[in-house]
A and B are shown apart, each in its own frame.
Chain A
Amino acid sequence: DGGITQSPKYLFRKEGQNVTLSCEQNLNHDAMYWYRQDPGQGLRLIYYSQIVNDFQKGDIAEGYSVSREKKESFPLTVTSAQKNPTAFYLCASSIWGQGASTDTQYFGPGTRLTVL
């Protein structure tokens, strides 16, 4: 059963703590992405990676960090520097990444992070 998994589904953390969100895909996709979604809003890109050991900042990267040590995995760390981390976080992957006209992104189920 192929797809993208994110864990956990719900996450609570205390203010000032770092937390890591997991994203795994078994679709053999090269590119992976992290988005943030606030209530009633569209998705905003945090980071993306087109290939292993390489990643680029998206529009709202401040306060976040990522790694891409394996093709299948793209974990996102929400650091204490992120001033308003409570949000719905979505991970996605695609076959080609940049340069593909018809590239389609496949999304995971999301992680809802709440800072107490």
Chain B
Amino acid sequence: LAKTTQPISMDSYEGQEVNITCSHNNIATNDYITWYQQFPSQGPRFIIQGYKTKVTNEVASLFIPADRKSSTLSLPRVSLSDTAVYYCLVYNQGGKLIFGQGTELSVKP
């Protein structure tokens, strides 16, 4: 499983766009990039998944450059309720996922 590196924490203000970048230099050809969100004392929740270029859903966008060695989760116009820990995972099969420490996003009023 490819190792990922992401910032430990980030601060933002309501209404701003937040971009969280994840490095995965050893990503394999068949690996997908997946992001989860976790609120305190709750289980993680799937946000978005992509393989290349750009993926967008109702919650976020995921930007993946051509070399796929990094990816950026973009949260448009964050609110206080977006305060959470965001995990970047890279894998090509189900089963054993590796959740690192994640990025703790703090949104301030």
Residues of A that sit less than 8 Å from B by CB: 4, 31, 35, 40-45, 48, 50, 58-59, 88, 90-92, 94-110, 112
Pair B102/A42 contact, Cβ less than 8 Å: yes
A107–B41 CA distance with the chains assembled, in angstroms: 12
Known A-B contacts A101-B32, A102-B32, A104-B34; the reply to A45 vs B96 at CB < 8 A is yes
A99 touches B93 (CB 8 A): yes
Q: For residue B89, give the distance in angstroms from its CB to the closest CB of chain A.
A: 9
| Given A101-B30, A102-B32, residue A107 in contact with residue B95 (CB < 8 A) | no
CB atoms of A42 and B99 under 8 A apart = yes
Task: Provide the residues of chain A in CB contact with B42, threshold 8 Å.
Answer: 109-110
Q: Does more than half of chain B's interface fall in helix, strand or loop, or is it mixed?
A: loop
B94 x A98 contact (CB < 8 A): yes
User: If the complex has contacts A42-B101, A90-B43, are A48 and B87 also in contact, measured as CB distance less than 8 A?
Assistant: no
Overall SS of chain A's interface: loop
7 A-B pairs with CB atoms under 8 Å apart are: A41-B101, A45-B97, A59-B96, A90-B43, A107-B43, A107-B45, A109-B43
In the complex, what distance in Å separates the CA atom of A96 from the CA atom of B45? 18
Docked Cα-Cα span, A24 to B56, in Å, equals 31
- Asked if residues A100 and B94 are in contact (CB atoms below 8 Å), the reply is yes
Is B16 interfacial (CB 8 A cutoff)?
no
Instruction: Give the interface size bracket for B toward A.
Output: 20 to 34
Chain B residues 63 to 109 lying within 8 A of chain A, measured CB to CB, are 87, 92-102
Minimum distance in angstroms from A107 CB to a CB of chain B? 3
CA distance A98 to B1 in the complex (A): 13
Assess the B43–A48 pair: CB atoms within 8 A.
Answer: no
Interface string of B31-67 (1 = CB under 8 A from A): 0101000000111111001000000000000000000
| Distance of A68 from chain B, by nearest CB (Å) | 14
A105 in complex: contacting residue of B46, B100, B102, CB < 8 Å: B46
**Is B43 within 8 A of A99, CB to CB?**
no
